[in-house]
Structure 1
């Protein structure tokens, strides 16, 4: 059976980012549909599974361990399990990105 989940039903608080946690929808993956303004992004954190980012549009600066890289629309990045990371919208417009968590439940340890 197909399940349709409306993005509006997944919004986090009053923001524009949506959070899909697979376990609630009988799915093996979870993800964020990021829609951030310039300067926005999560603090340093890590997960016990890999994370894959698909930058749809905008510019992002990502710190993974001791490395900092810049990415833009069309770029795909991966982060190994247990690796501290964070990102920030480093552009002048909105950042649209999908952050795929290789887990049906999001597990995050905040480090900042």
Structure 2
């Protein structure tokens, strides 16, 4: 691990998730107290139901997301922010006609995710 006290830029290529356009940043690797996904999904894409032992906050940078929070479905569009509380099952899908760019901030320096299925 590098010296996390030195200011640094983390290149996007180092954060790519597989062959997708989505980035995954885990704070503990970089001296940060948060983690995040910078989602870049096509219509119909999104993660299945999952939960975390901490809050997750989403901000829609571009597009439209239908977010399942517990038993409720909410729609968030460009500029909207939504929050899910700890231990609540949630997921989202790009229900727009174009790309969905979504910042998913995890209130933890380490991502802890439990999948429902």
TM-score tier by shorter-chain length is over 0.9
**CA distance, structure 2, for counterparts of residue 19 and residue 47 of structure 1:** 16
Residue 60 of structure 1: which of 44, 59, 65 is its match?
65
Aligned length: 112
For 1:84 and 1:7, locate their aligned partners in 2 and report how far apart those are by CA, in whole Å. 29
What is aligned with 1:104? Answer: 109
1:66-105 alignment runs, 5 A limit:
66-105=71-110
TM-score in terms of structure 1 length? 0.98
Deviation at 1:100, TM superposition (A): 0.1
Gaps of 5+ in 1: none
State yes or no: 1:37 paired with 2:42: yes
Q: Name structure 2 gaps, 5 residues minimum.
A: 1-5
- Structure whose CA Rg is larger: 2
Could you list the structure 1 runs, at least 4 aligned residues long, displaced by more than 6 angstroms after superposition.
none
Query: Tell me, what secondary structure is at the counterpart of 2:13?
Result: helix
Per-residue Cα deviation, 1:66-93 (whole angstroms, up to 9, x for no partner): 1101110000000000000000000110
CA-CA distance at 1:6 after TM superposition: 1.0
